[in-house]
Structure 1
Amino acid sequence: MMLKTEGKNWIRNLRIKWISFYLIGMASIALAIALVLSFIGIYLLHFSPWLFAVVFPVVLGILLYIKPIWKINENDISRFINNRYPELEESAHLLLQNQADLSLLQQLQRNKIENIITTLAQPKEPVKKLYSGLVILLAGLLLSFGVTQIPLRKSVFLKDREKADQTQPIKENIPAEISAFNVTIIPPAYTQKAGRKQKQFTITAETGARINWNIETNIGIRKLKLIFNNSETVPLKALNAAHTQWTFGKTVQKSGFYQLDLDGRKSDLYQMEVIPDLPVNIKITQPKQHTTIDIGQPQKINLKVLLTDDYGINDAFISATMASGKGEGVSFTEKKLSFDKNFGNRKSISLEKLIDLKSLGMKPGDELYFFIKAMDNHGQSSRSDVYFVSIADTAELMSLAGMTNGVNLVPEYFRSERQIIIDTEKLLKEQSSIPVQTFKNRSNDIGIDQKLLRLRYGQFLSEENETEIGGDHDDHDEHAAHKVEDEKFGDVTNIMDKYAHKHDIAEDATFFEPEIKAQLKAVLTEMWNAELRLRTYKPQEALPYEYKALRLLKDLQQKSRAYVAKTTVKTAALKPEKRLSGELDKITQPVQKMSFEQKEKRIATLKIALARLENRKTGKKFTAQDQFILNQTEKYMIGAAADHPATYLNALSSLRKLSTNKNPIISDIDQVQQAIQKMISTEIPKPLMQHAAPASALYQNYFKNLNKTDR
């Protein structure tokens, strides 16, 4: 009897092996894909490490959905081995059937293949699937390891590049008298950078850095000077009697250029770029700049701030001002709130603080104004914009005070929304003492009142009926038909329709400003939310929407308070000994300096210089007048190079070559012209007279029809 079931067991074991190996292979493939995606998300996109726990089951589920391997049954296996092994004579399925149900011929065939199947080798497809899955997993592990190295390699590359930029010498023209030199740059303490030496005169240093020049000449020099920005000349100190070793130190605060003067022989111009220390950048991601806390909302705000600085953050705090009262009785209270976090001179830090408005002493109707102030390790301070948080005052909303002041948008409508709130609160108080059906009927009735009020407010946006609320007219075909007809001259209505087209957008037929239109739309939205909950017998949930609609309506009328950061002006202390002395010699008439003519002269000179340089390209020589223009241009370019040496320093060197060389190089002329064009492009464009009137199209149409009538 064991022989009769051995073939069936062989097929069953193959199915189990097939499914198991395939599942392991799919899990390996899913693991490889999940590892690569997770490592990319974690190391490159800075996602949470828990990303893998989400990605792996999702990928595995997708693979199993595409290939549901567990659905393979023994009949599928029998068909597979029939195709694979011809010696089974397409009869493997007989091994799975009950022998009593087989015919005599089928029983003989079954006994025949029962002896054959046990001698067959297991197929290699399941093992191949297992091996392929493991290979993909190994590739995924290697690729994931490579992803982890990208930030490290990038950091090393940036450091090597920065180091190369600092140490790789720039090609410079060094005077022949100088045999050796070095420049030592000592950054200020706030940068937390070490000092460095370089073998080049072109300098890139931090603001406030100490620069020391050590120069050695091959011959004795009587005087060695440094000329900064063509205006400041400082002598170097000789360290020996032979006057071959020189030194000088200077603290730099701004960019510019300088050159060496060796006994009257001047060197090329060398760039001196100063990297400024920027203040702390403050980015508030939460909350919004204007936040109103309505009824039912927690009176707390979650503040999230991101601070970044180029060298380090020293401190940051919240400056908060609370406003209470209204009218002339407004009082302001200032408080300083700390983040309770150690900054540790970090360059980037995320801060978060939950501000409890109740703990600050705020009540409904009060407002909070706050901003973030941060200091870097250099003592620079920066502050964010002012953010506003207000708590809605339900008592003030329900009062009728101030309804007749300011912009009056149909005061009885305000009373209607107020009455809806009163009816809703009364219904909630009586809910426990009235039948359920009565409660539902009254809630539905209040919802109908809310709907009617919403429709009445929709008229302000030219929404004449319920179907038009939030929608547009669909009558463009009608307008298209009118365009086909001939316009009758003198028909004022047709002319106004053509240029106004007041039915394309219903809101454009109103006289309200866009901001008021937007707030009216918000009112309709809140009324719709309240109506929805009232009609579904949820008046408790409708109440916050009703209060918010009333608050928005009151905001449309007027603002009860305007915040001023400082109510007093700080002035210098008076000197008692100077008061009532009668000395007026220090008081002079105000003088207004006009630099317009000087600026016009500068631009005119630069434009003339462009033309003279263009003439020089054709072979013409500079005249005495041309030389004077170039000298004036050089003065202007010196000032530009002092402010932006990286942009204008090479052009200044080329301009000096053009002034001395008889055979100029075209590339020098091109470089100078490009720099002059950049200097001219900073000119502010002048206002021009408008040639056509705004309504010229209407005038032209009028005269066109007038001519037709005359004919």
Structure 2
Amino acid sequence: MATEQSIQTLRRIRRRYVQAKLWLYALQAAAAMVVGIVVLYRWGFEAPVLAFTAVSLTLGAILYLALRWRQINKTSLQQVARHLNRQYPQLEDSAELLLQEPHNLLQRLQQQKIASTLQELHPEKEKTYALRPAPSYLALGLALVLSAGILYLPAAPLVPGSSPPEMKVAFPDAPAPAGDTATVIEGVEVSITPPAYTGKKAYQADNLSLRIEEGANVTWRVRTNKPAHALQLELSGETPEDFTVKKNEYTFSRRFTTPTLYTINLNGKQSAFYTVELVPDEAPLIQLERPEQYTEIRLGEPQRVKLLAQLSDDYGIRDANMVATVAKGSGEAVKFREEKIKLDLKGNSRSYKVSQTLDLQKLGMSFGDELYFYLQAWDKQQGYTRSDVYFVQIEDTTIVEAAFDMSMGVNPVPEYFRSQRQIIIDTEKLIKEQNSISRAEFEERSNNIGVDQKLLRLRYGKFLGEEFESGIGPGGGIPEGEEGHEEAQHFSGDGHDHPEFEDKNSPDALLSPYMHKHDQEGEATIFEPAVKAKLKGALAQMWEAELRLRTHKPKEALPYEYKALRMLKDVQQSTRAYVAKTGFEAPPLKEPELRLTGELHKITPPSEKQQVEKKPQFPHTRAALNWLEGYKQHGQYKQADAQVLERAGQELAQQTLNRPGGYLRPLQDLRTLISDIQSKKKLCATCLASVEHAWATLLPPTAQTPQQKTTSRSQLSREYFKQLNQP
């Protein structure tokens, strides 16, 4: 008993040692993991090297803890016993005997003595091992201090080149500043805050001509060398607005929903034109790969539809679903039921893939029902898109479609077309219940279905003139039990291979193909040859189905039953009749009578005249082009010509809103020309060419008018034609 208690004491000492050691290792791993997680939280993956270091620290800490736990878990009771021998001399280096089976009396006595001594010492109540927890706690404390510094202390951005670029504002009309007395713009920073639906962070523009998201907020920060008397931002067609002043820094913010042009005015001097282009939010895009626009599920096919689609959007899709409408019934009794089906979206919010199966039976559909569905999606702003409507129909064999009731007094379409479907239902039910019924009952039911198939086959055989069973099936025409008869046993008139007429040139033989004979099975029918061939094929499939049902193989008979039903449906559609409507024949006109002989010379057609004055497009641009042609010829200009160019520039600026990047450079060249005219300088030749090309592009193409073709002939040609015209 003392030995067992001693072993339990060793186990408790081992467990306490393992827990204490594992706790120190966990503190060391936690110190590294905290630093790695905080670095990832603060900077993310902006700096690849730093992100790699943080991930390595985290994964290394986890791996370190796992390896240490595996190592410390290998501590055995023998190691604990040897440790106690070193700690307590009273055990006489014999603590390991407690874990061994004694082989002689001396070992047994020593084991009992050591067990008693161990119970008197109570080592489990003392700390028999020495650990140094101070380094582990110190490492964790340093990690926490470092993490707090990373989180709360300001730090410079880690990504090189992330500082906003310096941008200069150009003033083409202003003269160069004289000395250090003039106020100049030292730098401009433009920050753009995209709208919330884009999911983008604020960023700095690298050019004063902006291309931003629709609805974004733009902030200009302008620094000057000294306070300015007036600093304004002027949008195209609007009143200039002042910047907000804070020492030598000026700020202005504006939200843009339409493209425009703008200038920065400093102390009355206007800068060059800069553009604000907008990137509109596109509506979601829906692409359906499967199913087709119209899908018909035939008999025997699974009543399921595979849906494959792809949904994408430039800034992400907020919601998407399917709207399905089930139509049941026909005519005035049709009923509609609409429901929304959740889509199985896979991928990120900007590009989803849909791959799911629609179970038509779960939607409550049966034979003859129709399903109309479409997909719809919303983006994160106000965009909405819906796909085309797709149709899925389950074929119905219970409806007899025929046009005989409108054209004939008797409907010759047989009423047996729906019986084959009942045989299919019975066969499928038998296959489903095969494992739950006895073998004798299974064979009996299979044979009964085969009998029903035989009766149905005989009924359809009557439409082909087969009035007895011997003429049906693969062995049609061969009497039962006579399959091996010889040619010598044939007799005249047995209907086998004997010619009907010995003399093929006789009158009866010549008229035979054109006569309707009621005494032959193949001719006693009301169907056309094409319909009769389909019906014969259906009877052949029924024969094959009956063969397998009679031999207790209903699963093999099911495909032939479906083929027979499809052929019967084709026969049903082939029996439609069309009767053309009798058209109305107007009575002939009596020519001798005087009809419609009234005089119309006093009746004048109504006439209405309206003069519409067509205003020419871009009149100032046309006037500027005329001035430009005159300047090319004479090379002179007047001060008043600047007003002509100014008005033409306003028309060009209006068109620049539609094409922000197209006419920006010509506008700047036009301002240079106006400045040169006001300063009485020589006009810039490249500016003239650029402005002329922009104006020519702005004008609509001239409508072509017919011109008289004139040809000039030589004296010799005129004499030649003169001689030809003389008699």
More helix by share: 1
Structure with greater Cα Rg: 2
TM-score for the superposition, normalised by structure 2 = 0.46
